[in-house]
Amino acid sequence: MKRNGAVDFWKFVFSVVILCFHSLYFAGSETYFFYDGANMVEYFFLVSGFLMAASVMKQRSETQDVPVRKSTWQFLFHKIKSMCPEYYVAWALSFLIKQFAGEILPLRLICKHAILSIWELFFLRMAGFNDYNANGATWYISAMLVAMLLLLPLFYKNREFFLYYLAPVISIAILGYLYAAEKTLRGNTDWMGLCYKGLLRAMGVLCLGCVCYVICQKMKEAEFTPFAKILLSVAESGGCLFALYWTYGHATSKMQFMILILFAIAVTISFSHQGMFAPLYDNRVVYWLGRFSFPLFLSHHAWSGRMNRMFPDDTYAQLFPKYVLLSVGTAFAVYVISAWVRRIGGKYKDSVRALFVVGR
């Protein structure tokens, strides 16, 4: 699927917000940026749900006779492949930061942490295997993949039934339960008796992303007037800007669910490409920011928990710019190293494969 500039732009903006929000780990009693920045992750879940629906529906004729189990695992394999090597490069750098930044941990403890990280390396944190985490941001990847593993067989089994009935029902049921029982979407590792809240959160919002896909297809069929396109643009940008305003100065509340709806509207409009501003977003700079948002999302969390140890006498105002520089620098390192690994991997893929698999 061709890149969508508006989605790329807001992905980058919300990655920056999440970076700022995680400064809470060294803020202490001081005021930190974006009190409720955690709910920006909902935008990523919505986009992932939308793209999941778009991909499955695009494959409809190609995978009609392919067993559901095979289609499911092929989808997940390609999803994981699209996040590599960034995921593992960021994990390795985060692991080193947590073992050596501020204080050098004993070798015995480093080895223990490496062994306990096995669940994180295989994306199983939100399946219940939540032990030592080198990179706190990986909960999102784990929740998304485990939720997709549960949802995709239902989707491939009956695409129309899933899109038009199961996805809305699952979304309403899960989000309604979290609204009534928990009052918040936050608390990824809160145990709900059967699973973590983060997994429920992922399933509910991914399904809402599928609903966005259905509505978007209907919007693409319509010819909107210039006035209607202006209204769509206001709804698209206004919803995201309101989310930024609210999360900057307000603590966690049920407003998270209203912001989720605003995000759903924005994602639907962005992918429909019906807004007045759509052509402005479609340029190489914004596309690059969209690609860079993933390394940025993965590269800051380890630093947030080490700033007080590295600079124990600094105030929040002194720590924050250092945190941003370290995080952005690490994100660039992940971006560059990943590009190098991808280039080398492509060049020597056949040679590496020959070491393990007998050619035919």
How many CA atoms, within 13 angstroms, populate the side-chain half-sphere of residue 7?
A: 23
Residue 67 covered by a domain: yes
Distance from C-alpha of 61 to C-alpha of 43, rounded to nearest angstrom: 30
Question: Above 80 in pLDDT, residue 216?
Answer: yes
| Residue in the block written with tokens 């985490």 | 133
Residue 355 covered by a domain: no
Q: Could you tell me the CA-to-CA distances from 28 to 19, 35, 101, 245 in Å, in that order? A: 16, 13, 19, 23
Question: Above 60 in pLDDT, residue 56?
Answer: yes
| Residue in the block written with tokens 């643009």 | 233
Structural domain range at position 196? 5-345
Residue 265 covered by a domain: yes
- The count of structural domains within the chain is 1
Question: Above 60 in pLDDT, residue 199?
Answer: yes
For the chain, give the percent of residues with pLDDT over 90: 80
For the chain, give the percent of residues with pLDDT over 70: 98
Residue 360 covered by a domain: no
Question: Above 70 in pLDDT, residue 333?
Answer: yes
What does the pLDDT average to over 21-43?
89
pLDDT-derived band at 61 (thresholds 50, 70, 90) equals low
Q: Which of 1-5, 220-224, 271-275, 350-354 has the lowest mean pLDDT?
A: 350-354
What does the pLDDT average to over 177-202?
92
Torsion of CA 10, 27, 201, 251, to 10 degrees: -80
pLDDT of residue 63: 63
* Of residues 274, 288, 191, 200, the one with CA closest to residue 236: 274
Cα angle, residue 40 at apex, residues 304 and 95 outer, rounded to 5°: 30
Q: Considering the chain, what is the average pLDDT of its residues?
A: 92
pLDDT of residue 356: 76
pLDDT of residue 62: 66
Distance from C-alpha of 129 to C-alpha of 117, rounded to nearest angstrom: 10
Q: What is the pLDDT of residues 79-128, one digit of tens each?
A: 999 999 999 999 999 999 999 998 899 999 999 999 999 999 999 999 99
Q: Could you tell me the CA-to-CA distances from 286 to 4, 25, 40, 244, 330 in Å, in that order? A: 9, 30, 19, 19, 20
Q: What is the pLDDT of residues 137-167, one digit of tens each?
A: 999 999 999 999 999 999 999 999 999 999 9
Residue 330 covered by a domain: yes
Q: Are 15 and 328 in contact (CB under 8 A)?
A: no
Cα angle, residue 262 at apex, residues 259 and 265 outer, rounded to 5°: 155
What does the pLDDT average to over 17-37?
89
Residue 30 covered by a domain: yes
Q: What is the pLDDT of residues 225-267, one digit of tens each?
A: 999 999 999 999 999 999 999 998 887 778 899 999 999 999 9
What does the pLDDT average to over 134-138?
93
Residue 359 covered by a domain: no
Residue 356 covered by a domain: no
pLDDT of residue 1: 59
350 against 78, higher pLDDT? 78
Number of other CB atoms surrounding residue 37 within 10 Å: 23
Q: What is the pLDDT of residues 290-302, one digit of tens each?
A: 999 999 999 999 9
| Residue in the block written with tokens 């890149």 | 3
User: Can you read off the two tokens belonging to residue 101?
Assistant: 């930044």
Q: Are 186 and 253 in contact (CB under 8 A)?
A: no
When mean pLDDT is compared over 182-186, 187-191, 200-204, 347-351, the highest value belongs to 200-204
List of long-range contacts for 58-62, beta carbons under 8 Å, 24+ apart? 58/1, 60/159
The distance of Cα 260 from the centroid of its chain, to the nearest Å, equals 14
How many CA atoms, within 13 angstroms, populate the side-chain half-sphere of residue 18?
A: 25
Distance from C-alpha of 52 to C-alpha of 152, rounded to nearest angstrom: 9
